């Protein structure tokens, strides 16, 4: 399994309202940074900050076209995030983790 540091990147990407709004915008397809920036009322550096976190998480992929960067959702990143959430929220039965002082 991935390191906890790598896993935390996914949750960091999802824990900010602005980044969730960006993900919502990207649901309709690839967007140029200039298109994402306007409705979010973000500066270029503010958008870059959020996009770096989203790209580092694997949820978003970027590509350069001239001076502009275009972003789109990553299917592989989404699948990885879903598997991660399932793996950390699925109980594991392990007898050596049970309390020896009680009948659980």
Residue 90 lies in a domain: no
**91 falls within a domain:** no
Q: Could you tell me if 14 and 22 are in contact, meaning their C-beta atoms sit under 8 angstroms apart?
A: no
Does any domain span residue 100?
Answer: no
Overall domain count for the chain: 1
pTM of the model: 0.84
Range of the domain at 12: 4-85
Alpha carbon distance 16, 42 (integer Å): 14
Answer whether residue 102 is part of any domain. no
CATH number at residue 56: 1.10.10.10
Task: Read off the pLDDT of residues 14-70 as tens digits, 9 standing for 90 and up.
Answer: 999 999 999 999 999 999 999 999 888 899 999 999 999 999 999 999 999 999 999
Let me know if residue 94 belongs to a domain: no
The answer as to whether 32 is a domain residue is yes
């Amino acid at each position: 399994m991935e390191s906890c540091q790598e896993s935390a990147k996914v949750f960091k990407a999802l824990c900010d309202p602005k980044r969730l709004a960006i993900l919502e915008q990207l649901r309709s397809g690839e967007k140029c940074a200039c298109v994402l920036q306007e409705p979010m009322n973000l500066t270029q550096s503010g958008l870059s900050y959020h996009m770096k976190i989203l790209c580092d998480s694997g949820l978003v992929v970027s590509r350069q076209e001239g001076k502009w960067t275009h972003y789109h959702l990553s299917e592989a990143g989404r699948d990885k995030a879903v598997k991660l959430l399932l793996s950390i929220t699925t109980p594991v039965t392990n007898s050596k983790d049970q309390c020896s002082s009680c009948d659980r």
